[in-house]
Every structure is written in structure tokens, then in C-alpha cells.
Structure 1
Amino acid sequence: MTEPLVSVIIPVYNVEKYLDKCLTTVVYQNYNNLQIILVDDGSTDNSLSICKHWSIKDERIEVYSKKNGGLSDARNYGLRYAKGEYVSFIDSDDWISLNMISKMVNVFSENDVDMVTCQFITVNNGDAKLFSYQDKKLNIVDRKEMFKLLLEDNNMTSHVWRKMYKRNLIPKDVFEVGKNFEDILAMPTLVSKCQSIASMNEGLYFYRTSNGKSIVNAISLKNIEDRFYAIKESTNEIIKLEPQLGKVVNQALLIKEIDVYRNLIDSGIINDKQALPLITSIKEDLREKDYRILPGMAPKMFGYSILKSKALAILTYRLFEKQDSLFKKVMRRFKLYSERHNKRVAFKDKYLNGNDKLFIVLGVPNYGNLGDQALKFAEYNFIHKYFPDFKLVPVEINDGFLVRNVKKRVTNKDIVALQAGGNIGTLYPWLHNTQLNFLSKFARNKAIIFPQTLYFSDDPMGKQYLQNTKSVYQQMQHFLLFTRDKFSYDFAQNKLQGVRSVLMPDMALSLTPKVEESKRSGAILLLRNDSEKTLSVEDLQLLLRKVKETFGNNYLQSDTHIHFDDIDDNFAKDKLQGLWNKMGKSQLVITDRLHGMVFAALTNTPCIILHSKSPKIQGVYEWIKNNKFIFLEDDINELSSTIKSALATSDCHFERKNIKEKFAQMAELINKL
């Protein structure tokens, strides 16, 4: 069956620093039938040259150059040449998952829908986070419900990117030229042509926020006016199309206009002293009434022009953001206290009552790093196996307020442990400092750190962090530091004098996941997008070229991080099992993530592991290098031969007798504290 043609429109303007990354992820999609339209909008840097260079390498790329007319003009221009059954827009300083196009086309082919959207991941200097999460794997809504979701501006936003459209439903020149916030203006028209829209729960679009590009964050009178105009025009259009949503529109308008004026006031563009007499008059009137009347004022507020409604908007902002700030702070504090009190009571009732011996694990992750989640479950298994007489007491990384309760209850019979991982040092400062603070409260108790990697940068910050760490560790009276790699062990021996350290395997190597039996096919790529990423764009291109040569389109991109926080154990187990099942169906894993390598070993999947910034990969590899289906790749140029060797490997079975013996030894050492 022939793949439908997808036209990918990428406006380009002065993005020479980011363009290669964007185009790499488009060109190497696991979907071939693409028309890649690059519209250079009068760039003054090397962007056009980069576009032309790519067009020589790939015949699917079409380059058009025009005078600068703005993003809307460039998108409209690209649409004139779009021949595909489907159209997708990508901003040239962002990038996409290698699966995005194929997954969206599959949703179209399997469902009777007119538009498909995915979730997106914001990336700020290597800090990647899923913008929003929906419970359903696929949520299909009608036009009215889609408008409602857009007004709520939470799970569904008006961004034109992160979506795929039927070409025949996009009107000519749908983007209004000369205005910023063109997405807000265009989205009602685009949605109006649809009977149903499918929303996926996967984050497949990576939105770069660290380059200062965001119009939303660039406060100027022009941007404020354009945003106000876009909000007004788009919501008026929604009411015309779906009159029943009038109340929802008015509520959304009130919130959004206040936000517009907040930007004006905070930027100093508006001087509210000139409006003081009117503000005072309205303030006196409102003192006699319930604040709940304010939402009802929305239709009146939005009947005014910017100048006429300025005073009322300033008043609303001052009342709720400034003058009531003390009240709001008190209420927030009270709510937080109430939530913590309830959690503290439940925690004490569940874990701290009675005379049980306790095995306390501090800094348990509730964030979406599946490697750290796997470590957590491995620690739990270890405690249940070797310390069956102890009650397991997990304290999450965000629950520092519970440490005081634990401290009051702990005795010299109990054991305090710090979560395993790669968080000691300067790679993740907040995690390091939080964990160090937790541990410092138990200087007189039996305490251990589950196998960790230590990494301190060689700069003033790293030296200060090391000094603080040494100070806490040296105060511990019954203490064992377990390290999971030789580099960290040697570092501890040399830099943490007087601290007893022992080399042990990564805790996740003790897990025994059950993987669905199936015929293996294709490759899975688990590649970083965070601060530890060391794979250059050039190396990524080489890697993807070799993968294409070997597997065609039979590969997918995933990750050991779901970029989502505040997850519970059941959610984490479900995500881990899903990833393990994907790996168990693959012929090969290629990854630069330590736990990508570990999970490949656990699922008996041939794996090529690439180096990252931390020495942990090399160190943990030493524990499993006797398994000949795990390949540590030092030279990306040798990838072709390594792929052949990995695919030629037979009888893949994770041998870990030595690892099991080390964990038994670890339990003995803890018992002797």
C-alpha cells in the first residue's frame, strides 16, 4: 500500500544555529513519502545556504526564497506548493521525534478524523518537560469540544505545529499576514473545517524555549496589541461557529485579557498613575460587592478598546495580583499546610506506628526518569529479599517535610538509605542538594547510599559542592557509600577521605522483567535530549544514516525518560513494562542512556551503547561486558560494523551470576553497620 504524501512546511528565518537539528529529524523520519518545503523568509545569515545544501542531499526537499514577510506569509507561501494529502508545520528552531509523521498518519488511517495532534516537550537549555499529559492514549473530540479545549489552553493549545491537517481542509492564505500570534488567529478557521480531531498523548514535538524566540515572552506594545487582537478575533469566531460556548469564551477572555495587561504593567509600558482616579472610583464600588461579580463583567470589559479598558484591567490586576497578595499568600500557605498535614498523618499511620524495624529510603523519585524509577523498584526488591524483618519506608524527593517525622521515630536498629542513581555532584544540583540535606539529618544513625555515580565539575561550583558533600559524609557515624562505577569509587577514595566506599553494581541490574514473547524486528533508538547529551548533530546524522541503510523505516525512537513529573508507582511500572516490551520486540537497541543499556541487558536485546558526559556508562558497562550482545561504541564512524556484529549475535541471555553475588555481599555489609 502506497504511503500518503505528507507536505512538511518549515519557514526559515535566521536560524543557522538550529536548522541542521530540525532538518535532521525531518529527513530521517521513519516515513519516506515526504515533500519537505523550506521557505526562506529573507534570512540574513547562512540559513538559505544550509537549506540549499540539504536540498542537494535529499531530493524530497524544495527550497523557496522570498522577501521577508513574517511567519504567516512564509507559511501561506509554503501552502501554495503543498501537494500532500496531509500537511504539517514545523518551526525551524524546533525538532520532532523520528516517529512523529508515521504515528500521525497511522492515526488518520485508523480513525475517521480531520486533524491529528500530539503533545509537545518544552526544552530549555537541556531541561526537557512534557507540556501537558492526557490519560487517554488517543482522545477523539468533535469540533465543539475542540474549541472548548482550545479556550482552556491547557492540554490543547492553538499552536499550528504539533498538528497534522488534511490539505483539502486548509483555506488559501489562512494565516493573517502582519500580525504576531498568527496561530491563535488561524486555529478557529482550521478547526471549523473539521468534524472530529484526534489528540495523542505522546510528546512527539520538541519546542525550544532557550533561544529567546518566543513572541509570547518578548514584551512590546506591538506584541501586546497583536495578542489582544488575536484573542478577540479568535474568540469572536468561535462564538459565531459555536454560540453555545459563549459563557466559556467570556471566562477565557477575562483570564487572557488580565494576562495581557499583566504583561503591559510588569513591562512598564503602561503607567497606571494616570488612571488612578478611575481605579479609585471602581475600587470603592467593588468593595461593596462580592468579588464573584467580576466574571460577569467580562462582556463589558471586552466591548472596550485597549485604551478604554486599560483602567479596569489595571484595577483587576492590582486587586488580585498586588493588593490581595497577602491574603492569597495566606490562603496558599493554609492550603499547603492542610495538604501536608493530611499527608503527614497518613504517612505516620502507615509507616511510623508500631515497633517495626524500619528501612527508610530517602529521595525516592516521583519524576519521569524511568531509569531512576527502575532503581527504586530494584531497591524495594533488595530490601524485601535481604531485610524481610524491616518495614520499607519510602520518602519521595519532594516530601522533605516528612523527614522530621522520620527522624523522631528512627532508632539505632533502623537503616536509612539514600536513593541510587547519578545525582551526586553538579549534574543535577537541586537533586544533589535535596538528597544531601535529607542525609545530613541522620548523622548518628545507620546510613547508606545505594550505588551512585559521583560527578563534580572542575570549577568553583563543583569545588564548593564537593566540600559540602565531604562535610556531611564525614559527620556520618555509621555510614557506607556504594558507588556503581570505578571512576566514582576512585574519586571517593581520593576526594572523600575518611568515608567508607564500596564498589557495587547498578541496582537495576537485579531486576527480572517479564517481556512479551514475539519475533524481533527492527531497531529502537533511546537518545537523550537533556543536559547530558553529547551526541552532535553530525554524529546523529551519521547514526541515522546507518540505521536507515540497515533497517529501512523499521525503527522507532523512544526514551528512558517520559519528561513528566508527579507519577505514582503503578504509572511508573506501566511505563517501564511498555518500554521493556518494545525493546523485547526489537533486534537492536542503540542508546546513549545508561539505563537504555541496562534495560537491553535485562530484555536480552542486542545493544550498542554510546558515551555520554558522565563516566557512569563505561563504569556500569564493566559489570555486564561479559555479555557479548552489549557493545560499547567509542567511535561513531565504526557504527556500521558494530551494527553488523550486534545483529549477528545469537543466543542472547543476560548472564549475571557475579552481579547477584555482589548484591548478597552488599546486604552483608549493611547488616554489619
Structure 2
Amino acid sequence: MEPLVSVIIPVYNVEKYVKRCLESVINQTYTNLEIIVVNDGATDNSASVVKAIHDERIRYFEKENGGQATARNFGLDVATGDYIVMIDSDDYVSESLVETCLNTVEKTKADLVLFTSYNVNQEGKMQYIKRDKGIKVLDAGPTPWNKFYQANLWEGCRFPVGYWYEDLGIIPVVTLKAKNPVKIQDALYYYITDRADSQSNIQQMDHFLDVVVMLENIETELKKLGIYEESKEQLAYLYIEHLIYRLVLRKAIYISDKKDRKALIKKISTIIEQKFPDWGSYPYQAGGKLTATLKKKALWLYLHHFYFLGDLVWKYPFSIRSKQTGF
């Protein structure tokens, strides 16, 4: 009997994108799907767009707005499939996603298939994303959508509610829970990078330290599962990547108020030193050789409050490169 695959799609104010997303799922080469669409209180015409698409595999639900975490949790609660895929409704997927992942499961007995993606900007330019750091949780990433899950991996696991970066709070737990994760290099997901109202593109300082809460949640969940000690090194890499590199180099340095910026960076430095005092000795590499070197130098400058020099090494060159490449 063919396994049933549950595809969970939270929807909120994406009337321009949701049809493309749903069509990429409906047109999958593997057809035994239940397509769970959770309308999280959308205030635009998203509901009308979804309801105009007729496919008996679609299970449509409406709920009061509670955020993407609550919508995904709702989808997980009603899912009946043997496997689970999650898709953001402004993105879309390869029509061979499910078939490719199921073929991988059949060949390898994987309980979690990790695939990769393309970044896509509004001009339609695509950027292939490599996932080759050689560290399980970093290659997997904290996003829910580049993974094909055996459904039982989600037993007892749900997204934290009421925080930003909620994916970070649970996806590494599910990744580390997997007994046989298998990574493939196929780019099966198309991630839209430059929607202005996307959370990843919003700067809101009040939420930046939610990263810390989510990292602490990972630790709590790993202890519940009895796999904390064997996963401690993986957790250290998560702290290094998300608290240090991402929060400093992608968020903190763009805070315009100098006092606020300094206070946040000082707090970040204090947290990592208390949690993993030897974090600088880990063989962490952020990108290719040149990029990693620049990031490391810039990070040292920012952590020691040499902001202008840090900007010269990283912020300004990154801005120029971003404009040139479109990413």
C-alpha cells in the first residue's frame, strides 16, 4: 500500500502567492497526498483563492490568527499521513519533491530526508543553497520546509508559541531525534527571499533575544528525550551560528541606536561565554574560505565594539555584494 504523505501549508495574507504554492503540490508526481491548508485568520483574499482550487485531497481549515507556529501545530494535530512535509504558502516546491524523498526512504530506510533549496528573489533569479558544513544540525538548518519527516518524529514535539524564531526552537530537536537522517543534494524547494513583510526581513529589536529562548527550548526538549549529553556539541554549534554569527552579523549591526546596539552585542557575548566559554575553539566555518575569514574578523571587531572597522570588513562589502547578486 502506498504511504500517505501529509503536506502542511499555513496561510496568512498570501493571496498573491498561495495559488502557485498549492499548484506545485497538487501537481506532484506522487499523488497519495493529504494537503492540509490552515488559514490562520487571513484578512486578505487568501481564503477565496484557496477555495477556488478544487482537489479532493485538500483539507481546508480556518482558525483565529495565532501566528505561524499555531497554524503548523494545528496541521500536525490533524495530519494522518505516514510522512510529513511542510511548505510556507509564499514559496513553492519541485513537482518531484515527494517522489524523490520517498525513493530515498526506500533506498536508505531514512526516517528523515534532508534536501536543499533555491533562494528566489522577486526578479526570478535563483541561488542554489549548499548544505555541506559536515555538522548535522547546521546542514539540516532550523527551517521546517527542507525536510521530509517520518510522521512519528513529531510525536511529543510542537512549535513553541508566542516567540519569533519558533522554527529554531523545535526543528533541531526533531533532527537530532531522527535515527537515520539522510542528506541529498537535490534542490526541491523554492524559497522566496525578498518579501518585505516576511519575518526574516523585519528588523524588530524587541524580538532578537527570542533566539536565546529558542536555544534554551532545544536544550529542555533534548533533556526530555534523554539525548542531551550526546547532542551537546551539536547544541554548541547552534549557539555559535544563531546567537553569534546570525544575530550579530545579520541583526545587531543594523540597530541604528548605538547604545542599544552595544547593549545587545554585550549581552550576546555574555550569554555565549557563560554557556560555551570555549566556543571560539570550535571548527565552525561560516561559508566559503574568504567569507568565513571576513566573518570571523568582523565578528571579533563587533564583539570588541570596534563597529566602524567591523562595518568596513563586513557590513559594507556584504551590502555591495547583495546589490550585485540580488541576494
- Sort the TM-score into its range (normalised by shorter chain): 0.7 to 0.9
Structure 1 stretches lacking a partner, 5+ long: 136-144, 280-294, 304-313, 333-429, 432-530, 532-673
Rounded to whole Å, the distance in 1 between the matches of 2:274 and 2:153 is 35
Read off the aligned partner of 1:186 and give its amino acid letter. Answer: I
* Aligned partners of 1:160 and 1:183 also within 8 Å: yes
Query: CA–CA distance in 2 between the matches of 1:257 and 1:111?
Result: 34
Residue equivalent to 2:55: 58
In the TM superposition, residue 121 of structure 1 has moved relative to its aligned partner by: 0.5
1:45 lines up with 2:70 in the alignment = no
Change (3 A) 1:272 1:164: closer
1:233 aligns with 2:233: no
Q: Which of residues 121, 126, 132 in structure 2 aligns to 1:124?
A: 121
**What residue identity is the alignment partner of 1:322?**
Y
Match of 2:182 in 1: 198
| 3-state SS in 2 of match to 1:83 | coil
Whole-Å Cα distance in 2 between the matches of residues 244 and 192 of structure 1?
A: 10
Q: Which amino acid letter does the alignment assign opposite residue 300 of structure 1? A: Q
Q: Secondary structure at the match of 1:63?
A: strand
Q: Deviations over 1:278-305 (max 9, x none)?
A: x8xxxxxxxxxxxxxxx999342679xx
Q: Distance in 1 between matches of 2:232 and 2:161?
A: 28
| 1:253 to partner: Cα distance | 2.2
Tell me the secondary structure at the aligned position of residue 239 of structure 2: helix
Determine if the alignment matches structure 1 residue 184 to structure 2 residue 182. no
Which of 78, 82, 102 is 2:79 aligned to? 82
**Offset, 1:42:** 0.3
Deviation of residue 169 (structure 1)?
A: 2.5
Deviation at 1:106, TM superposition (A): 1.2
Q: Scaled by the length of structure 1, what TM-score is found?
A: 0.39
Q: 1:68 to 1:322 in 2, by over 3 A?
A: same
SS, match of residue 175 in structure 1? coil
Report SS of the residue matched to 1:206.
strand
CA-to-aligned-CA distance 1:393-440 (integer Å, 9 cap, x gap): xxxxxxxxxxxxxxxxxxxxxxxxxxxxxxxxxxxxx89xxxxxxxxx
Structure 1 position 261, deviation (Å): 4.3
1:335 maps to none
| Contact 2:255/2:261 (<8 A) preserved | no
In structure 1, what is the equivalent of residue 102 of structure 2? Answer: 105
CA apart distance, 1:257: 2.6
Cα distance change of structure 1 residues 217 and 268 upon mapping to structure 2, 3 Å threshold? same
- Whole-angstrom CA distance in 2 between matches of 1:177 and 1:251: 24
In 2, Cα distance between equivalents of 1:297 and 1:11: 33
Deviations 1:330-365 (A, max 9, x none): xx9xxxxxxxxxxxxxxxxxxxxxxxxxxxxxxxxx
- Alignment-derived partner of residue 317 in structure 1: 302
| Residue 67 (structure 2) aligns with | 70
Gaps of 5+ in 2: 278-298, 318-323
Report whether the alignment pairs 1:298 with 2:272. yes
Please tell me whether residue 271 in structure 1 is matched to residue 251 in structure 2.
Answer: no
TM-score, normalization: structure 2? 0.76
Q: Within the alignment, does 1:260 sit opposite 2:247 as a pair?
A: yes
Structure 2 letter corresponding to 1:165: Y
Equivalence for 1:602: none
CA contact (8 A) 1:160 1:187 kept: yes
- Contact 1:221–1:269, Cα closer than 8 Å, also in 2: no
Q: Which residue of 2 aligns with 1:149?
A: 136
| CA distance in 1 between partners of 2:301 and 2:275 (Å) | 11
2:293 — aligned with what? none
Alpha carbon RMSD of aligned pairs, Å?
Answer: 3.5
CA contact (8 A) 2:14 2:89 kept: yes
The Cα of 1:225 is off from its aligned counterpart by 2.5
State the AA in 2 paired with 1:170: W
Deviations 1:130-166 (A, max 9, x none): 111559xxxxxxxxx8xx422xx3x331110111111
Larger radius of gyration: 1
Amino acid at match of 2:195: N
- Does the residue aligned with 2:109 lie in a helix, a strand or coil? coil
- Cα pair distance change 1:46/1:133, threshold 3 Å: same
Letter in 2 for 1:131: I
- The offset of 1:18, in angstroms, is 0.3
Distance in 2, Cα, partners of 1:273 & 1:185: 24
Asked if the contact 2:90–2:192 (Cα under 8 Å) also holds between the matched residues in 1, the reply is yes
Matches of 2:236 and 2:65, distance apart in 1: 36
Q: Is the partner of 1:43 in helix, strand or coil?
A: coil
Structure 2 residue identity aligned to 1:5: L
Quote how far apart the aligned CAs of 1:74 are. Answer: 0.5
Secondary structure (helix, strand or coil) at the match of 1:271 reads helix
The percentage of counterpart residues that share the same residue type is 31
Q: SS at the partner of 1:26?
A: helix
1:124 CA displacement: 0.8
C-alpha contact 1:8 1:87 (8 A) present in aligned 2: yes
Hey, what's the Cα distance between the residues in 1 that align with 2:79 and 2:261?
A: 52
Pick closer, same or farther for the CA change 1:300–1:29 going to 2, 3 Å: same
Query: Kindly tell me: are residues 183 and 203 of structure 1, through their superposed partners in 2, closer, same or farther at Cα, counting changes over 3 Å?
Result: same
Q: Distance in 2 between matches of 1:192 and 1:245?
A: 7
Distance 2:305 2:258 in 1: 18
Q: 1:328 to 1:212 in 2, by over 3 A?
A: closer
The CA distance in 2 between the partners of 1:273 and 1:210, in whole Å, is 24
Answer yes or no: is 1:167 the counterpart of 2:155: no
Give the distance between the partners of 1:106 and 1:34, measured in 2 at CA: 15
